[in-house]
Amino acid sequence: MKRDDIFEFFRRLAEANPAPTTELESTNPYQLLVAVVLSAQATDASVNIATRPLFEHIQTPRQMVEFGEERLREAIKTIGLFNTKAKNVVALSEALIRDHGGEVPRTRDALQALPGVGRKTANVVLNTAFGEETFAVDTHVFRVCNRTGLAPGKTVDAVEAKLEKRVPQPFRRDAHHWLILHGRYTCKARLPECWRCPVADLCRYQPKTLAPNARPARTASRASSAARIATARTAAKRTAGRSRPRPTRLP
């Protein structure tokens, strides 16, 4: 995608949603960090359901350590990989108390040194909690960047490096959220909704998905193929019936 098109791409996403943010619920950087760790391979909605009651009582790493791994496991058991995640959250809380005075560190290296925190989680925390211009590449961002031609790459690291290079000001801080939300609600994995996409003319993905009422009637063609299958089955049964040897009478 050309430089002017990239600017226009973000200008339109910004116009549609001037203040994008994460859908994970939290009230401070520590809760955000925990929520992001819990959200690996899980939806934000499922994490919010589990953390809403949990975060009413737990706002600090110390409170989490006192709460303990067993009770945490029970509280988050509706989220995938809850055993490992409970272990990591308690361990990272202990590390925050031990190495950072109970505060969430503001550098990528320090964040990535925490149990259960990878580059993507560190990027989300740096961006959302501290306003850094980082580009966390999750499955939605990866898909949108490749489909559109905004920042194509075979790996998340390659896509992130291209975003770093290509996203212009004043969009760098919120680019990550615009891309996630665009992928989650418009440029969906199975069927991108190109017919209502605000950046369709800038995107190189082909062929564009047509609006539901502009697509060929699939129900009719499905019905006719079902009818064809039924006719073929009946014919096969008749043929099989005819070729079967007739029962002979016993003497």
Residue length of the chain:
251
* Cα 118 from Cα 166, distance rounded (Å): 23
Give how far the C-alpha of residue 38 lies from the chain's centroid of Cα atoms, to the nearest Å: 13
- The stretch near ligand SF4 (CB under 6 A) out of 11-19, 117-125, 201-209, 219-227 is 201-209
Which residue number, 64 or 203, has a Cβ lying nearer to ligand SF4?
Answer: 203
* Cα 251 from Cα 229, distance rounded (Å): 42
- The stretch near ligand SF4 (CB under 6 A) out of 35-43, 189-197, 212-220, 230-238 is 189-197
Binding residues for ligand SF4, rule CB under 6 A, total 13
- Token pair for 137: 């590449």
* Cα 114 from Cα 105, distance rounded (Å): 10
* Cα 221 from Cα 192, distance rounded (Å): 23
Task: Confirm whether 77 is a catalytic residue.
Answer: no
Catalytic one of 120, 165, 174, 237: 120
Given a contact cutoff of 8 angstroms between Cβ atoms, the answer to whether 123 and 136 are in contact is yes
Which residue number, 147 or 162, has a Cβ lying nearer to ligand SF4?
Answer: 147
Print the binding letters for residues 97-136 with ligand SF4: x by CB under 6 A, - otherwise.
----------------------------------------
Examine residue 150 and tell whether it contacts ligand SF4 (CB under 6 A).
no
Examine residue 51 and tell whether it contacts ligand SF4 (CB under 6 A).
no
Q: Cβ of 227: how many Cβ atoms within 10 Å?
A: 10
Which residue number, 62 or 188, has a Cβ lying nearer to ligand SF4?
Answer: 188
* Cα 244 from Cα 217, distance rounded (Å): 41
Least Å from the CB of residue 201 to ligand SF4: 8
Site of interaction with ligand SF4 (CB under 6 A): 147-148, 186-187, 192-194, 197, 199-200, 203, 205, 208
